[in-house]
Amino acid sequence: MKASVIIACVLAGCVAARADAPAITLPDLMQVAQQWAQDNLDANVLNALPEADEQTVRQFFREVQRRFQGDYVVDLAQLRQTAQIVLPLLENREETQPYAAWLRARMDYLTVADEIRITVPPPAVATNPPSVTVRNPSPQRERRLWVRQVSVRSWPAPAKKYVSKLKPCFAAQRIPPELVWVADAESSFQPGALSPAGAAGLFQLMPDTARRFGLSLWPRDQRFEPEPSATASARYLKYLYEQFKDWRLVLAAYNAGEGAVQKLLNRYQADSYDAIAEHLPAETQMFVPRVEALVLKRERAILEQLPAPSV
């Protein structure tokens, strides 16, 4: 059976799996998905794939976008099987390898989500009034899961080249050099990584953020250059710390955007990451404890005890 047929079946099951989701018509779903794909996926890159594979990849990325921005971490588990099919398609073509690097860096998200899915308790039997089922794990549990996941992972091969080279970029901006491990969570230290949404490089900076913190995108894109991208990332992290004064909130804002994090803090009258974690996008709920675990296991440092940036 062709990969595209398998993936279509898997993704159809993913959409149907949310029994509590509001009814969505197929035309509505396709219109939203097609618009996102048109706005974000590089047609010139994906055209390098055979037609069937291009359709498969586009369909997969649409579903990734929907679930990463969704509410429930456990829903990411349903992407795992499809991702294992799509990743080789992307790795086998030079033109699509930047997307492959981005996806490979996120395979652990799907692994951890699958572990959560397996161990999550079944929904409570409805009572009158109906009981509320909390589907997201607590931030504390996610941190434990990620520490275990990182503990069995060796350093990505490129990390041996880049960690010592890029730490001085962070130190020069007077922020903790341990935060260089953001590049592991974002790209597995692959400088050429490119996301379907247009983020690029080791630190997955979006174009506007890159320009805002001193990078040029033309005539060459400095996001793909290790030292400049590390410097811009460090400057962005420092800026976010000035706003949030908490490293977990800083990482959440780095991933989801400072506006999204500030709105949640205001809405829930909160001042900590844990107080808003379950309301963040699923990808962000994974990203923050992943970086925290990387800092702990690779640097033997506790994220919340890292010093504030100095002036």
Per-residue pLDDT of the chain (311 residues; tens, 9 = 90+): 444 443 444 344 444 443 333 333 334 433 444 454 455 666 667 776 777 688 888 889 999 999 999 989 999 999 999 999 999 999 998 999 999 999 999 999 999 999 999 886 555 555 555 554 547 999 999 999 999 999 999 999 999 999 999 999 999 999 999 999 999 999 999 999 999 999 999 999 999 999 999 999 999 999 999 999 999 999 999 999 999 999 999 999 999 999 999 999 999 999 999 999 999 999 999 999 999 999 999 999 999 999 999 87
- Measured between alpha carbons, how far is 189 from 226 in angstroms, rounded to an integer? 9
pLDDT at res. 135: 74
pLDDT at res. 39: 56
| CB distance 255 to 288 below 8 Å | yes
Give strand pairing partners of 205. 200
pLDDT at res. 56: 84
pLDDT at res. 129: 53
Structural tokens at position 292: 């925290």
Q: Write down the H helix ranges in the chain.
A: 3-17, 26-40, 43-46, 51-68, 80-91, 97-104, 107-119, 139-151, 159-172, 182-187, 207-212, 226-244, 247-256, 258-267, 273-276, 282-299
Nearest CA to 63 out of 123, 18, 120 is that of 18
What domains sit in the chain, N to C, each tagged with a CATH number?
A: 3-104 (no CATH), 139-305 (1.10.530.10)
CB-CB neighbours of 110 under 10 Å: 22
pLDDT at res. 44: 65
pLDDT at res. 284: 98
